[in-house]
Structure 1
Amino acid sequence: MTRIAVIATGGTIASTATEGGVVATRTAAAVLEGAVFDGIDIETHDLMTVGSYRMTLAHLRAISDAVASLLRRTQDPVDGIVITHGTDTMEETALLLDLVHDDERPVVLTGAQRAGDAVDGDGPRNLADAVLTAAAPQCRGLGALIVFAGRILPARGTRKVHTTALDAFRSSAGGDLGTVADGTVTVGAVPRRPAPLPRPSAAFEDIRVDLIEMYPGADDVLIGAAVSAGARGIVLAGTGIGNANPVVVAAVRDLVSADVAVVLSTRVPEGPVQGVYGDGGGADLVAAGVPTASGLPATQLRILLALWLSENKADAARVRSMIATYADMKTHNREE
């Protein structure tokens, strides 16, 4: 019999309506109530019960540690893991788990857009699909996955693209890996996955990496505030193909020489990040020593940078090499 562990962390899938708004309250057993799977034995673990908008890097590390503990278990070993999670920051947790995943067994994240007590909730279907995916032999070796609205998505490059739609997630680099329909799991592509990074240590919980978005009239105030607060890294979500302005470029140039890692992303959902424009644009940022990153959304890029900086110094050459390996479009899906 296939054994799947379900780790509950909260989120909308575990939420009910209260006078103060929708709040995560339900246990893993409650979320799974009534679900029956032929040939699959389910075990449940209640790790935390929070909305993912409240999560910190400490929460993400706790989830990573729980996954590692289950994968190390030799008595009654699991064949796959499902994590129920809020959708707001699912993309961040999924990316962390994928970066450090060194096992063939699937780790699948899912959740819901409608509360657990909604009469037309999407949680039961998503959870059933996630369990089937975690148990499917064809999903071994795919790393961490997000299963939502019948789609099987790679952790890397996947982001939430709609606030309320049931089909809320899309991959910005390579598309879906497969589908779950009528209880059948179909996989048509596999992700290109670089060697795993070390699992997060206690240092990961305290590392500060800020995400700063560019906009008309942006100056260096937020950058300076981030550095004053102790930021060891900054992800710039540039406009367009990856642009800023002369004031920001000047501020960033000082940071590069001050051992603060700066990486250039974009606020645009899809497309490459390149140093094309001068006069304060991406070409000037690249000339100042800032690497570009095209394969991950800025939210996930922040997690990658935080994990790496928690164990490494902000050496410009090594940061550039790390970005090329773990945050480049070439690391994403290829057809089987």
Structure 2
Amino acid sequence: MPLRIAIIATGGTIASTTTEGGVVANQTAATLLEGTGIAGVEIETIDLMTIGSYRMTLGHLRQISDQVADLLAREHERVDGIVITHGTDTMEETAILLDLVHDDPRPLVLTGAQHPSDAVAGDGPRNLADAVRVAASPDARALGVLIAFAGRILPARGTRKMHTTALAAFDSMVGGSVGNVNGGAVSIISAPRRPKPLPRPTLAFDNTRVDLVEMYPGGDAALIHAAVAAGAKGVIVAGTGIGNANPAVVAAAQDLLPRGIFLVLSTRVPEGPVAGVYGNGGGADLVAAGVPAASGLPATQLRILLALWLSQRVDASEQVNSLIDIYADNKED
């Protein structure tokens, strides 16, 4: 029997056409398959949502996770792998949420496109065909969640969108490529290290607010305090350089941490470690105040990790530091 691959369509540029009001997601999964030349596998399509990923909320991400779980749990018409078509703007967020909770060896692959579906020589059909091939490959089993894009296979963890318009838009900031698809042949060259899965998101995840505040010259703690006033339970601080802020942010951390607000230190720099090195309001002072530094995930993905954890936290004595060690930096299992 041929392998059965499910395609969950969520919208994005891959499902978009050009309208008078701009490029808009409006195509079904079945339409996306036209022109891909996929053969040798049985395809099931699910039109879960049809929106641009820039409009997604945590609730949308949770709905995608729920759909994946339902497919993997299904006993009749069992699927051998899953592909999710998704907008590129926030693909990295959905990918990390799915990877954090993925507890099945069957491949789960995200893909999308940089050109709309009605563009001449668009990249969507090739990316979708590659993603299906990866999802059907026995070599892709037990690798967690993957992103197939522009011929590359990337791990969900640490992968970011690095270019607004280039066809090869994504790159891994921490682990490099898992493999590639060349001429329809899937080649896996490495296996990403993954911690044990976390529980899947519940409805509480939808409204767990975690904000991301980037540092810059002249910035203070106003945006951090505004986030907390708006209901944020946590804030990711995207510091300058190796992870630096200023004395006002350090004072905010000293005020907010005892009140049960969680801060995590990241960086606005695409690559490299985050560490408490500099004083006078830098990362050393933030770490000393109790803000953990996280190197293994970009700030966008740290936000999802912290929101998932906060939505499920029941033990007030739990420390966010161990969460960062295991699920961001992979220091221990």
What is the TM-score with the length of structure 1 in the denominator?
Answer: 0.97
Instruction: Give distance in 2, aligned partners of 1:143 and 1:251.
Output: 37
Return the offset for 1:258.
0.8
Instruction: Give distance in 1, aligned partners of 2:39 and 2:285.
Output: 58
- Retained in 2: the 8 A contact 1:243–1:277? yes
Q: Which residue number corresponds to residue 93 of structure 1? A: 94
* Greater Cα shift, 203-212 or 305-314: 305-314
Q: Which residue number corresponds to residue 334 of structure 1? A: none
Once the two structures are superposed, the pairs formed by residues 129-208 of structure 1 within 5 Å of their partners are 129-208=130-209
Once the two structures are superposed, the pairs formed by residues 1-336 of structure 1 within 5 Å of their partners are 1-312=2-313, 315=316, 318-328=319-329
Return the offset for 1:35.
3.0
Instruction: Give distance in 2, aligned partners of 1:117 and 1:39.
Output: 26
Instruction: Give distance in 2, aligned partners of 1:184 and 1:103.
Output: 24
Q: Would you say how many aligned residue pairs link Structure 1 and Structure 2?
A: 332
Q: Sequence identity of aligned pairs in percent?
A: 70
SS for the counterpart of 2:165 is coil
Instruction: Give distance in 2, aligned partners of 1:37 and 1:204.
Output: 36
Instruction: Give distance in 1, aligned partners of 2:214 and 2:315.
Output: 21
What per-residue deviation string (whole Å, max 9, x for no partner) do you get for residues 90-122 of structure 1?
000000000000000010000000000001200
Instruction: Give distance in 1, aligned partners of 2:106 and 2:68.
Output: 11
Instruction: Give distance in 2, aligned partners of 1:180 and 1:21.
Output: 32
Instruction: Give distance in 1, aligned partners of 2:142 and 2:67.
Output: 19
SS for the counterpart of 1:108 is strand
Instruction: Give distance in 2, aligned partners of 1:188 and 1:99.
Output: 22
Return the offset for 1:316.
7.3
Instruction: Give distance in 2, aligned partners of 1:63 and 1:281.
Output: 38
* Greater Cα shift, 306-315 or 83-92: 306-315
Q: Which amino acid aligns with 1:278?
A: G
- CA distance change for structure 1 residues 316 and 174 in 2, over 3 Å: closer, same or farther? farther
- Retained in 2: the 8 A contact 1:260–1:314? no
Return the offset for 1:36.
3.4
* Greater Cα shift, 193-202 or 311-320: 311-320
RMSD: 1.3
Q: Which amino acid aligns with 1:217?
A: G
SS for the counterpart of 1:257 is helix
- CA distance change for structure 1 residues 62 and 79 in 2, over 3 Å: closer, same or farther? same
- Retained in 2: the 8 A contact 1:295–1:330? no
Instruction: Give distance in 2, aligned partners of 1:315 and 1:256.
Output: 13
Return the offset for 1:253.
1.1
Instruction: Give distance in 1, aligned partners of 2:278 and 2:314.
Output: 30
Instruction: Give distance in 1, aligned partners of 2:129 and 2:331.
Output: 32
- Retained in 2: the 8 A contact 1:173–1:329? no
Q: State the 4+ residue runs in structure 1 displaced beyond 3 angstroms.
A: 313-317
* Greater Cα shift, 35-44 or 151-160: 35-44
- CA distance change for structure 1 residues 139 and 36 in 2, over 3 Å: closer, same or farther? same
- Retained in 2: the 8 A contact 1:259–1:314? no
Q: Which amino acid aligns with 1:101?
A: H
Q: Which amino acid aligns with 1:322?
A: L
Return the offset for 1:329.
5.6
Q: Which runs of 5+ in 1 are unaligned?
A: 332-336
- Retained in 2: the 8 A contact 1:219–1:248? yes
Instruction: Give distance in 1, aligned partners of 2:31 and 2:39.
Output: 19
- Retained in 2: the 8 A contact 1:294–1:329? no
Return the offset for 1:317.
5.4
